[in-house]
Amino acid sequence: WDCGFGFIWDRVEMKGAVWSIGLLLLLLSVSLGAAQKSSSSKLESRVSQMLEWNKRNSVIKLSSEKFNTYVKSKPRNYSVVAMLTALKPQRECSVCQDANDEYVILANSYHYSNAYSSRLFFVMVDIDEDGYEIFQWLRLTTAPTYYHFPAAGKRKPEDKFDVGRVGYQADALSKWVSERTGIQITIMRPPNYTMLTLWAVVVITVLVFAYWRRENLSIVYNSQNWAFLAILVILYMISGQMWNHIRGPPIAHRNPHTGDVGYFSGTSQYQFIAETYIVMGLYGAITIGVILMNKELSLPFIEGTVQKGSYMVGLAIVVLVFGYTLSIFRMKYQGYPYSFIFK
């Protein structure tokens, strides 16, 4: 009797344990399902809100609080490209507005293309519009800066765009976005009516001049005119103007502490627009000096007399300007040992 009763009691206890475990697993599955449903609902809400903002602007402006909610929070099934900038005039960020214009062109090109979807959003955080917390979080001291926040996984070093090396043009940003997200964006720029008007004026001027001189077009066959035009094109190209067009550097740099304006970048990897024009002028002066050394130039000082010693003037120009150009080269290439006249 005792053995039979004990056996029955063990069976009852076993069944009770099984029912308890089953009930526990049921409650756990219900809790997990509710949590997943809640998480999915929050994600759908965030995506819906981002799409709503994106309808109004191709670049979504976020405060620190919204950035934490829509970019930093997980889970997230969309990638985010963020530009962190300082557009207020008191910041004196000469490059920020130009960079913002290029960023808007990139975002518009994506927004109105067939590639547009909820997989990618372009946002902007301004340090003076409640964005200081994000600047601190990313430990930023310069602007503009671009980051890619992937939909899954952690950020990699490649998710920070190298503005100093590549520039901030929309085409360069588009290539970087494609590498990080796999989404191809074809840049569509608005028509440049200023350049169109300028070219129209140039063409009309040439046509009017050609009609006016239609019976004597010797100017077209003058080799010196073509040589002068060729020199201008060469000076334009070797002074770094194409680099300016691709990278979009600022005109100059103002020291935020002293207020002094610098026209030369202190590194060989970067340059300012003013710097390129100064270098073009120096190259032009050396060219003029070389021409004067090889071609006599008549300079009437007193009536009836003519000075013919332009080679001395040309030599002086070449020596002085070359020495100054070399000093600029030494300043940009730290450690270069040679100098001439100027230190």
- pLDDT digits over 120-161, tens only? 999 999 999 889 999 999 998 888 999 999 988 888 999 999
Structural tokens at position 73: 């929070």
The closest of 74, 149, 168, 59 to 111, measured between CA atoms, is: 59
Q: What is the mean pLDDT of residues 4-11?
A: 50
Residue 150, preceding bond cis, omega within 30 degrees?
no
Distance CA 328, CA 343 (A): 9
Of 10-14, 24-28, 111-115, 339-343, give the lowest mean pLDDT range: 10-14
Sheet harboring 59-61: ordered strands across? 59-61, 120-126, 79-85, 145-149
Percent of the chain with pLDDT over 90: 30
Mean of pLDDT values over 43-68: 91
> pLDDT value at position 267?
73
Cβ atoms 282, 246 nearer than 8 A: no
Q: Which residue did the predictor score with more confidence, 101 or 21?
A: 101
Q: Alpha-carbon distance 10 to 23, whole Å?
A: 20
The band of 241, judged by pLDDT with boundaries at 50, 70 and 90, is: confident
Quick one: pLDDT at residue 183? 93
